[in-house]
Amino acid sequence: MTIHSPEPFSQNPQIAFHRTELGVILGLYGRMVAAGEWRDYGISCLREVAVFSIFRRAAEHPIYRIEKRPKLRSRQGQYAVIGMDGRILKRGNDLKQVLRVLERKLIRSVE
pLDDT (mean) for 36-42: 89
pLDDT (mean) for 100-109: 72
* pTM listed for this prediction: 0.80
**Looking at the predicted structure, is the pLDDT value of residue 4 above 80?**
no
CA-based radius of gyration for the chain: 15
Count of other CB atoms within 10 angstroms of residue 7: 7
Tell me which DSSP letter residue 48 carries.
S
pLDDT of residue 108: 53
Alpha carbon distances (Å) from 96 to 1, 14, 17, 62, 69:
35, 23, 14, 20, 16
| Cα(65)–Cα(63) distance, integer angstroms | 7
The band of 11, judged by pLDDT with boundaries at 50, 70 and 90, is: low
33 closest CA partner among 106, 108, 111, 107: 106
The model's pLDDT over 40-93, given as tens digits with 9 standing for 90+, comes to 999 999 999 999 999 987 667 899 999 999 998 888 889 999 999 899 999 999
pLDDT of residue 72: 87
**Looking at the predicted structure, is the pLDDT value of residue 12 above 80?**
no
